[in-house]
Amino acid sequence: MKKRLHKWRLVSLFSILALVLAGCGEPYLSALRPAGEVAQKQYDLMILSTLIMVLVIIVVVVIFVYVLIRFRRKKGDENKIPKQIEGNHKLELIWTVIPILLLLVLAVPTIAATFDLADTKAMEKKDKDGKTKDALVINVRANLYWWEFEYPDLGVVTSQDLVVPTDEKVYFNLTASDVKHSFWIPSAGGKMDTNTDGENQFWLEFDSKKAAEVKDVFYGKCAELCGPSHALMDFKVNTKSRADFDQWAADMKAVKKPAAEGEVARQGEEVFNKSCIGCHAVTPNDSRPEQARQAPNLATFGERERIAGVLDHNEENLKNWIKNPEEYKPGNTMTGTYNVTDEQVDALAAYLMGLKVEEK
Amino acid sequence: MSTYAKKKGFGATVWDYLTTVDHKKIAILYLIAGGLFFIVGGLEAMFIRIQLAVPDNDFVSAGLFNELITMHGTTMIFLAAMPLIFAFMNAVVPLQIGARDVAFPFLNAVGFWLFFFGGVFLNLSWFMGGAPDSGWTNYASLAMKSAGHGVDFYILGLQISGLGTLIAGINFLTTIINMRAPGMTYMRMPLFTWSTFVASALILFAFPPLTVGLVLAMFDRMFGSNFFDVAAGGNTIIWEHMFWIFGHPEVYILILPAFGVFSEVFATFSRKRLFGYSSMVFATVLIGFLGFMVWAHHMFTVGLGPIANAIFAVATMAIAVPTGIKIFNWLFTMWGGSVRFTTPMLWAVAFIPSFVAGGVTGIMLAAAPADYQYHDTYFVVAHFHYVIVGGVIFGLLAATHFYWPKMFGTLLNETLGKITFWLFLTGFHLTFFIQHFLGLMGMPRRVFTFLPGQGFETGNLISSIGALFMAVGILIMLYNIIVTSVRNVRVGNDPWEDGRTLEWAIPSPPPFYNFKQLPLVRGLDPYWVEKMEGKDEMTPAEPIGDIHMPNSTILPFVISLGLFVSAFGALYNVDNKDWTLPVMIIGLLITFGAMFIRSVKDDHGFHIHKEDLVNDDDKEVKA
């Protein structure tokens, strides 16, 4: 028995050790490493609630352990009948009132933060051209396993990599085009659903110092079951200082038509224009209505962090992806909509990898 | 007309159970069927944990994984936890209130067979083109687009089994209101009966919204309507509301009877009456009431706005108060008692810290802005497994060991029971504790795999190892059940020696008429009251007389079978096959035909005559 207990202790020791080693998660992904005002507020609330709850747990566990040790039936007690106690009004009052007080301590900041995080009034202040006055607004549209980010006031559309300025509130309109998804950047703040029924609005803020620690890339995820590839519906967040962001926006607006460089890439362009352009746009100023934008905008494809949101960004993966998307993202809407030979795939890959806006 | 103590062939036994209206046999049916579905759901859970043990695993495909999680959740809630709870309600509640059966024995059988056929129908989806894959919540936008017939199986299977649950709930309400023995006032009812009463009331109000939602979904998917089609003016959020108006009370439907079991176990094995009985009753009713006021906390991220979120956050926190009252009352029931650690008591004792852990994360989740981070992550998965496994399953396992002698007349092996307990408890905490952190570290729930390099590897591996411990624990319990049944050492009325309530005053298992004479209840814990006065049986409240009993009948089985048949017609209706409409009609004809026979054929039951009851007594003495 002793020996068995010993082994148990080892196992639990190892699991605790593992927990410590894992730390609080990766800084680009963990809600425990807040990298912005919203995440920080939520983190503070988590800590407050955890502290209150630990207090409750300690009280319960102390009574629990005491009772189990003190009142176990001992030898010779077999015929002892304990006193039958009906109850105790004073005690019962205590454990009704104290929890209520503890909950009040939690309820007040909860309500305050609820209203604070839902404050999107800045989105409504428009100038005479109908543009938002002094706030950056991004329309997020979730689709079966990819994300579209539209900057309505800048006239720019991009996909998969969200680009945001640091140290200011960024406002989001959230919607979905097919089934319900949920937009989540754990380091920057909690999620909000993208419904098929209408738009949701919320804001996030990205801290420049924390962003620097992760080389300006945060991970985003879909948090609502949306089909087979729900697990693979990742996106990335690129953070830039306000000046860099303005430069990026100007570059994006300036892109007219991508110029394919080199023979292979030019062939790829031809293939692309025949087989792919029906769904994929290659310029960021896509003025078509959103129903027509059936696939990710590829204007910045060469600069992306990932292929299809999850694969490492290299030509090999790109080719594999084009050849058999079903293998990498089951249930995606691209499979079977085109026919290309292996050479054409090579050409396409060369062309797509050359689609860049910044690194000319 | 004494029918027991006769050796029967296998065929006769099967026929006996197919036609039974006896609450004790229906309890056994619920236990077997619920147990089977529990094993199916457990297997699904094991496949999920194998798939997630390592990153980028391909043990199952993405589509199959979604079917597994959907069926795991649906099976465990509707087909395992609920029927297992009904098993103990059926076995114990009529005995606890001193009744000879439930109010509507025929309906009781209908309820069971509806549940059973609904569950079988749902699980047949595995062999008939794929299981439902939109999660147990079946959110409309995804479910309406789901290819194949999986979601149709969900919609029809749950309608059938839900009907059974509703019938069972109404039956228990009526039974508890009308069939209490003389002297059994409301405030003398044992806590398990009280919690059954409240849970049944919750069923009465919670299942109709689910049924409405399922019917709307059925019309959308099978008959071309557009309730959830946004493009045609429908709305998908309304499904979420209907689902959770059912779904949250459902949690309390499950946990309250488990609370009831623990209340009985704590009192029995502390040899003390329940501390603060009145406040326990009050807390049970209050939890039941508040359970209907908090559904939108499952929808904090849907975008209902800050006012709704704030109201539902505070309402949710309020539930902590009555739950806290219960926890402290249980602790103080043991305080000053003479605590004996039997297997059921171990489960009850382990329940307290486990459930408190689940409860406090519940409060953390109630803080709406923080929930935006927790929602739909493994934090939530950890939370609800702490309350449902740590609360409901622990309760069911406690009840299994506690009431086994009353149901089958023999005690489960205590050593094996304790081994099961330690394995399962260790596995449970290994599996789910670390999932809190996985969620906070950014792992969404319902993901069929995770990529390496995101910090999720260790946690998931530990979690999968824990699941293995739980599985081994359950296997040992099954072995225990087999060994115990084979040895079949008979026990007397009160095998735990400290029984307090009426069920321990009669033989184990009780005769089919339960009480030869209805007992006179003279206080809370009536059997304990008599024992303290040196008696070993209840004071009768009536002279020995003829007992009126209902006849066995196959009709409940036939009524349910008809709906089962009809469901296949409805399911394949969209495929434009010729046979679907006739099958639908034939199925409904079977159901309504059986109902018609039941209505027009007089069935007055039979009487056990006074003389036979006296003779039975003599036989017992001789044996």
Q: How far apart are CA B29 and CA B297, in angstroms?
A: 36
Percent of residues, chain A, with pLDDT higher than 90:
74
Which range marks the domain in which residue B292 is found? Answer: 190-209+220-270+272-337
- In chain A, whose CA is at the least distance from the CA of B451? A310
Of B270, B356, B441, the CB nearest to A32: B441
Give the count of Cβ contacts less than 8 A between chain A and B.
300
A106 touches chain B (CB under 8 A): yes
User: What is the third-level CATH fold of A263-353?
Assistant: Immunoglobulin-like (2.60.40)
- The total number of structural domains in chain B stands at 2
What's the confidence (pLDDT) of residue A256? 78
Same domain, B374 and B322: no
Domain boundary among B493, B515, B547: B493
Q: What is the mean pLDDT of chain A?
A: 90
A9 touches chain B (CB under 8 A): no
What's the confidence (pLDDT) of residue B614? 77
**Encoding tokens for residue A40?**
């920080």
CATH 2.60.40.420: which residues of chain A? 25-59+90-250, 263-353
Same domain, B202 and B316: yes
In a domain, B78, yes or no: no
Q: Where are the alpha helices (DSSP H) in B511-579?
A: 526-532, 555-571
Same domain, B299 and B397: no
For residue A125, give the DSSP letter.
Answer: -
Domain boundary among B457, B474, B493: B493
What's the confidence (pLDDT) of residue B398? 97
Note whether A139 and A200 are within 8 A (CB). no
Residue A150 β-bridge partners: A139, A157
In a domain, B434, yes or no: yes
Same domain, B475 and B414: yes
Q: Is B305 in Cβ contact with A118 (below 8 Å)?
A: yes
A241 burial (CB, 10 Å; 0-12 / 13-18 / 19+) is: middle
Same domain, B302 and B411: no
What's the confidence (pLDDT) of residue A12? 64
Q: Is A57 in Cβ contact with B321 (below 8 Å)?
A: no
> What CATH class does A25-59+90-250 carry?
mainly beta
Q: What's the angle, vertex CA B575, arms to CA B571 and CA B578, rounded to 5?
A: 90
Q: Is A63 in Cβ contact with B440 (below 8 Å)?
A: no
Whole-structure pTM value? 0.94
Q: How far apart are CA B324 and CA A56, in angstroms?
A: 10
Q: Which residue from B102, B86, B114 is spatially nearest to B21, judged by alpha carbons? A: B102
Mark the ranges of chain B whose per-residue pLDDT is less than 70.
Answer: 1-7, 616-623
Q: How far apart are CA B218 and CA B157, in angstroms?
A: 11
Same domain, B381 and B482: yes
In a domain, B177, yes or no: no
B551 CA: distance to closest CA in chain A (Å): 43
Q: How many other β-carbons are positioned within 10 Å of the β-carbon of residue B12?
A: 11
Residues 46-85 of A with CB under 8 A from B: 46, 49-50, 52-53, 56-57, 60-61, 63-64, 67-68, 71-73, 77, 80-85
User: Percentage helix, strand, coil, to 5, in chain A?
Assistant: 40, 20, 40
Q: What mean pLDDT is predicted for residues A170-181?
A: 96
SS3 label, residue B516: coil
Q: Specify whether the backbone of A167 is left (phi greater than 0), alpha (psi in -120 to 50) or beta.
A: left
SS3 label, residue B455: coil
SS3 label, residue B161: helix
Of B270, B434, B446, the CB nearest to A230: B446
Same domain, B197 and B306: yes
Note whether A117 and A38 are within 8 A (CB). yes
A17 touches chain B (CB under 8 A): no
Q: Is B327 in Cβ contact with A49 (below 8 Å)?
A: no
Q: Is the pLDDT of residue A18 over 60?
A: no
The 8 Å CB, 24+ separation contacts for A74-77 are: A77/B338
- In chain A, whose CA is at the least distance from the CA of B279? A92
What's the confidence (pLDDT) of residue B540? 93
In a domain, B431, yes or no: yes
Same domain, B439 and B327: no
Q: How confident is the model at residue A1 (pLDDT cuts 50, 70, 90)?
A: very low
In a domain, B450, yes or no: yes
Same domain, B410 and B276: no
ipTM of the complex: 0.92
Beta-carbon contacts of A209 under 8 Å, excluding residues fewer than 6 positions away, are none
* Phi then psi dihedrals of residue B597, to 5 deg: -60, -45
For residue B519, give the DSSP letter.
Answer: B
Q: Is the pLDDT of residue A255 over 90?
A: no
Q: What mean pLDDT is predicted for residues A299-317?
A: 91
B235 CA: distance to closest CA in chain A (Å): 6
